[in-house]
Amino acid sequence: MTTRAKLILVRHGETEGNVAKILDTAVPGLPLTERGVAQAKAFGAGLERAPQVLVSSDALRARQTAGYIEEATGTPAYVLDGLCEVQVGELHGRSDREAHELFQRIYRGWHLGELDVRAPGGESGHEVLARILPVLDGLRAEFLTDDADGDVVVVNHGAAMRLIGKALAGVAPPFTTNNHLDNTETIELLPTEDGGWECLRWGKFTPPFTTKADSSADDPMG
C-alpha cells in the first residue's frame, strides 16, 4: 500500500533576477519582489492542509518563500543544505542571450543523458543530482512512511526541480525541457511501493506528460 502523502517541490516566488532574466544561482542570491511575496503568501494560503514538514534551500529567495508559507500554515520552515539551484559558474549574473543559450544547451543535454557537461566553473548534471537526491531520499525515509500524516514541502528552484522530476519519476524530454515552471508552481511526487516515484503534477500539467510547449522561456532558470 502506498502512502498518499506527497513530496511537493515548489519553486520560490518571483525575484528581481527573474524579472531581469539574470542567471542568478550563487547563494544567497537576490530577494523576492513584491509580487514574489504575494505569490508565496498565496501558495501557503492555498494549501489544503498544513505540510507535515517544510524545508527550503539556503538561497534567500527560497528562505523568504518558505517563511511566508510558514506564516500561512504554522509549519516551521527549516533550511537544508544541498537544495540550491544549478550552479552556473562563470555564467552567474549574466542576462545576455549568449549566456542564456549556452546554459539552455547544457541543460537540455542533461535531460538527454549528457550529465557530465558543465558551464565554465559550474556544476555538471551528475553533481546537481548527487547533492539533491540524497536530501530527498532522507526526507522520504523519515517522513513519507506508510502512516505519514501530511505532505513534505520543499522550496527550491526551477532548473533543479525539472532535472529531479526527470530523474526520480521518469518524466521525459522534450516535456521536461520545454515546460518551464512559473514561480511557486510545483512538481508533486508520490512514493510508490517499489521505491520509485509517480509524478502527479508538473506545473500546470497532470499525467500524461506529453504536451510539448515552446522550448523558449523568458525566465532561463524556470
Residues marked as catalytic: 12, 85
In whole angstroms, give the CA distance from residue 138 to residue 38: 31
| DSSP H helical ranges for the chain | 16-20, 34-46, 60-73, 97-111, 125-143, 158-169, 175-178
Pick the closest to residue 136 from 87, 183, 213, 195 (CA basis). Answer: 195
Query: Are 9 and 156 in contact, with CB atoms under 8 Å apart?
Result: yes
Instruction: Kindly state the cell numbers that stand for 107.
Output: 541543460
Helices (H) and strands (E) in the chain, counts: 7, 6
Query: Are 144 and 191 in contact, with CB atoms under 8 Å apart?
Result: yes
In whole angstroms, give the CA distance from residue 110 to residue 185: 22
Q: What is the separation, in whole angstroms, between the first and last Cα of the chain?
A: 34
